[in-house]
Amino acid sequence: MANMTFPSGRGFDFTAIGRLCIDLNANEINRPMEQTMTFTKYVGGSPANIAIGMNRLGSKTAFIGKVADDQMGRFIRSYLEKEGIHTGNIITDGTGAMTGLAFTEIKSPSECSILMYRDNAADLLLSPLEVDETLIADSKALLVSGTALSSSPSREAVMLAIDYARKHGTTVIFDIDFRPYTWKSEEETAVYYNMAAEKCDIIIGTREEFDSMERFEANPEHNDRYTASKWFGYQAKIVIIKHGKDGSIAYTADGAEHRAESFPAKVIKTFGAGDSYAAGFISSLMAGQTVKQSMTFGSAAACIVISSHSCSDAMPTKEQVEDYIERCNRGEIVAG
């Protein structure tokens, strides 16, 4: 399978559903959280980052979610609106729920961690009745995030959104986005991830994230092809398994295996790479590029973000990604 076809004649290229939160990234890098005194605020949450990335790359983008009725919730909505992302299906919570916070620690380019505050988070209170079927029907692709499956009623809202997408022929993309602290047990994680993945056309995750789905599987060698082959018996056309600095592998329903070209980067932090990779890959694929070309484009987009302090603010434009690839090919960028 060289490339993939998306539905045409839709008002939106891409709609995401799931987590909207605040990232507070450490300003004092190369030191532990205990010694960090100041942070910079950004919009965060994996599906939010991917939506912002898709928008920067030229896609007409929308978001389905819920924000708190507080200053942080208003900041998130305002930021997305300024980016040009459709926020008509972002609901403001009325129960007193809070905006989720993520404090990031940047001890070194290879030692980064995230401290999450997700108690009574507003985004997990999105209900099925608040999901706009017409928006999904008018979108070429719907991206669902695994974190949104960790709690009700968000879990049911996401599953209904997937059903709406399948009903209207909208391509469904599953970003596994496994955050263990949001789940009650490994068994719960595996059950709901599998329920969602069975209905998705593209599945993207790290090797460790796919392992979280295989709680009841016999795959002791953590074999990538074994993992991918299961999903081709359902709806999947592409399964991407990421291995961090070792690159990613895409398996397609025709049995082919694709590996991306890698690029050097002056790494500041590692988080955000997966989100920018997903945005670059999906955007390129929707533009008619092959799977391998789309992986290469996603890899370059990821390098730009990990070379920056932020995630959402650093999401690149198409021109920036193309320029980065050209500069790498000329040898102007070296790893550091």
Integer Cα distance of 90 and 126 in angstroms: 9
Q: How confident is the model at residue 43 (pLDDT cuts 50, 70, 90)?
A: very high
Q: How confident is the model at residue 111 (pLDDT cuts 50, 70, 90)?
A: confident
Contact 319, 251 (CB under 8 A): no
Contact 66, 89 (CB under 8 A): no
Contact 52, 119 (CB under 8 A): no
Of 203, 206, 279, which is closest to residue 49 (Cα–Cα)? Answer: 279
Domain assignment present for residue 5? The answer is no
Domain range spanning residue 118?
A: 12-329
Question: What percent of the chain is predicted at pLDDT more than 70?
Answer: 99
Give kind and range of the element (H or E) at residue 47: helix 46-56
Contact 109, 268 (CB under 8 A): yes
- The CATH number that applies at residue 79 is 3.40.1190.20
Integer Cα distance of 173 and 15 in angstroms: 10
Task: Quote the number of domains for the chain.
Answer: 1
Domain assignment present for residue 296? The answer is yes
Output phi, psi for 326, to 5 deg: -65, -40
Q: What is the distance of C-alpha 4 from the center of its chain?
A: 19
Q: Taking phi first (over 0 means left), then psi (-120 to 50 degrees means alpha), and beta for anything else, what does residue 129 get?
A: alpha
pLDDT tens-digit series, residues 94-104: 999 999 999 98
Dihedral angle computed from the Cα positions of residues 181, 190, 48 and 268, in that order, rounded to the nearest 10 degrees: 60
- DSSP state for residue 220 in the 8-state scheme: T
Domain assignment present for residue 38? The answer is yes
Taking the model in full, what pTM does it have?
0.96
Domain assignment present for residue 4? The answer is no
Tokens of 116: 């999450």
Contacts of 8 (CB under 8 A, 6+ apart): 140
Dihedral angle computed from the Cα positions of residues 317, 318, 319 and 325, in that order, rounded to the nearest 10 degrees: 110
Amino acid at 143: L
Q: Is 320 helix (H, G, I), strand (E, B) or coil?
A: helix
Mean pLDDT of the chain: 94
Give kind and range of the element (H or E) at residue 229: helix 224-231
Domain assignment present for residue 7? The answer is no
pLDDT tens-digit series, residues 280-314: 999 999 999 999 999 999 999 999 999 999 999 99
Domain assignment present for residue 112? The answer is yes
Q: What angle do CA 60, 79, 158 make, to 5 degrees?
A: 60
Contact 263, 325 (CB under 8 A): yes
Q: How confident is the model at residue 271 (pLDDT cuts 50, 70, 90)?
A: confident
Contacts of 272 (CB under 8 A, 6+ apart): 49, 302, 305, 306, 308, 310, 311, 314
Q: How many helices (H) and strands (E) does the chain have?
A: 10, 13
Domain assignment present for residue 23? The answer is yes
| pLDDT attached to residue 181 | 84
Domain assignment present for residue 277? The answer is yes
Cα–Cα distance list, 177 to 45, 206, 240, 272 (Å): 10, 9, 13, 11
Tokens of 84: 């040009």
